[in-house]
Amino acid sequence: MRISRGVPAAADGSAACTIGNFDGVHLGHQAMLAELTRAAKRLGLPACVLTFEPHPREFFAPDKAPTRLTSLREKLELLAGFGVDRVHICRFNYAFAQITAENFIERILARGLGARWVLVGDDFRFGARRAGDLAVLKQAAPRFALEVVALPSVTLEGERVSSTAVRSALAAGDLDRAGRLLGRAYSISGRVMRGDGLGRKLGFPTANVQMKHNRPPLTGIFAVEVAGIAERPLRGVASLGVRPTVKLGGAPVLEAHLFDFDGELYRRHVRVEFLHRFREEEKYADLATLTRRIALDVENAKAYFHHRGTETQRKAKA
């Protein structure tokens, strides 16, 4: 997959395109990507995605912007997995925010991306003050030889699939619902960094996974599987939060204790998949109390995996 920063003044060829933030790459996004890649193959064109960094809402109101479901790297990896040929990462800044809807169609879509086929959601808005919509795009399409296709919203169990719905499920600790909306277990990937070594001192060494954003969409204690270490994901228990027993006012930290691994993970890039939430973070009176609580969390996680394995075997025999 070819990745470009920005949009060129003139494209080097034609493309089938779609536009969006694609945060989380949930089932709704996946439906768009499937439609995009089908059309691209039919037309003999590369499948192109235009996305934005930062998220427009982070630019306009950083304190009120939604939490990120995926880092830029995670999003790009997911887009590549769904067959996208090219991604243009457009820096969203003041100048870009001032582009009119008409100029967006001409400069960005037609000239910069070489779009000949464009797929958007039925609620698509674009241009300064979000003045452009599907009707504006379709009206301008003949002038630029664009074929415009709108994809209706995807629903699941009566709910519109959206990044907002995924965030809501994660914030409520409903990982099953989040997983159904995403079509996979929610995960955070990052490089393992040096921590303060407290977990090892307490008898539960952890991998400290670097997060790109300090406002994760979920917190608490979880049963997890960690990919990127062995041939198969390794099971463990993870804490995601500010560690109130250890530090006051700290930034969120993702720490995973693996059951069957005692090697060096420093600088390895791993993916932590969140499978079940046990509880919220708690502040304890001392480290001895914290240690006993961690031991119980480990036992609960092992029991969870044992039960899951038993259920899998039962369903396979049924």
- The confidence score (pLDDT) of residue 41 equals 97
Which ranges in the chain are annotated with CATH 3.40.50.620?
2-154
From the CA atom positions of the chain, what is the Rg in Å? 22
Spatial separation of the C-alpha atoms in residues 279 and 258, rounded to whole Å: 18
Residue-averaged pLDDT of the chain: 92
Give the total residue count for the chain: 318
Strand pairing category for 187-193 and 207-209: antiparallel
Residue 247 has pLDDT above 80, yes or no: no
Is pTM beyond 0.85 here? yes
- Are the C-beta atoms of 181 and 156 separated by less than 8 Å? yes
Spatial separation of the C-alpha atoms in residues 288 and 170, rounded to whole Å: 30
Q: What is the pLDDT of residues 99-121, one digit of tens each?
A: 999 999 999 999 999 999 999 99
Residue 141 backbone phi and psi in degrees, to 5: -55, -45
Which ranges in the chain are annotated with CATH 2.40.30.30?
172-317
- Write the CB contacts of 145 (distance below 8 Å, at least 6 apart in sequence): 110, 116
**Residue that has been written with the tokens 């493309």 in this structure:** 15
Spatial separation of the C-alpha atoms in residues 125 and 136, rounded to whole Å: 10
Q: What is the pLDDT of residues 21-73, one digit of tens each?
A: 999 999 999 999 999 999 999 999 999 999 998 878 788 777 788 899 999 99
Please tell us whether the domain made up of 2-154 is placed in CATH 3.40.50.620. Answer: yes
The architecture of the domain spanning 172-317 is Beta Barrel (2.40)
Spatial separation of the C-alpha atoms in residues 5 and 76, rounded to whole Å: 12
**Beta bridge partner(s), residue 226:** 234, 272
Q: What is the pLDDT of residues 262-313, one digit of tens each?
A: 888 888 999 999 999 999 999 898 999 999 999 999 999 999 999 887 767 6
H helix or E strand, kind and range, residue 136: helix 134-140
308: DSSP letter: H
DSSP string, 57-72: HHHH-TTTSPPPSS-H
